[in-house]
Amino acid sequence: AQSVAQPEDQVNVAEGNPLTVKCTYSVSGNPYLFWYVQYPNRGLQFLLKYITGDNLVKGSYGFEAEFNKSQTSFHLKKPSALVSDSALYFCAVRDSQTDSWGKLQFGAGTQVVVTP
């Protein structure tokens, strides 16, 4: 069974400071991991994904995420946050060891608030 947790409901950061949004997962096989962002009153947009290969994944809008197998984590990071990064961020996982290949599990979401 697959599951994903985003331990923080909200992250507050000042503009220009580093931003980290945490995500941990649990799978039976290998994880396929995704980050999506939902800007206010808009649909969800893809940021990045980890399937295999380099543990550091670079994505859209200057975001990156680090896959850590030993800690079962896939934290999203941005070196210098912008006010426009204020949004709801979702981590999602798919298990390689599953009969339900199309099943995708999302976390509860983390609200990011970047203050000027």
Partner 1 sequence: EAQVTQNPRYLITVTGKKLTVTCSQNMNHEYMSWYRQDPGLGLRQIYYSMNVEATDKGDVPEGYKVSRKEKRNFPLILESPSPNQTSLYFCASSTGALSLQFFGPGTRLTVL
Min dist. Cβ of residue 51 to partner 1 (A)? 6
- Alpha-carbon torsion (3, 8, 9, 11), positive or negative: negative
Q: How far apart are CA 103 and CA 85, in angstroms?
A: 28
Q: Based on CB atoms, which residue is closest to partner 1, 22 or 106?
A: 106
Q: Based on CB atoms, which residue is closest to partner 1, 78 or 94?
A: 94
SS3 of 89-102: the string is EEEEEEECCCCCCC
Min dist. Cβ of residue 55 to partner 1 (A)? 17
Query: Where along the sequence are the contacts to partner 1 (CB under 8 A)?
Result: 6, 32, 34, 36, 42-46, 49, 51, 90, 92, 94, 100-109
Min dist. Cβ of residue 45 to partner 1 (A)? 7
Q: Based on CB atoms, which residue is closest to partner 1, 42 or 70?
A: 42
- For residue 112, report the phi and psi dihedrals to the nearest 5 degrees: -105, 130
Q: Based on CB atoms, which residue is closest to partner 1, 70 or 99?
A: 99
Q: How far apart are CA 52 and CA 41, in angstroms?
A: 33
Min dist. Cβ of residue 89 to partner 1 (A)? 10
Residue among 19, 15, 2 at smallest CA distance from 110: 19
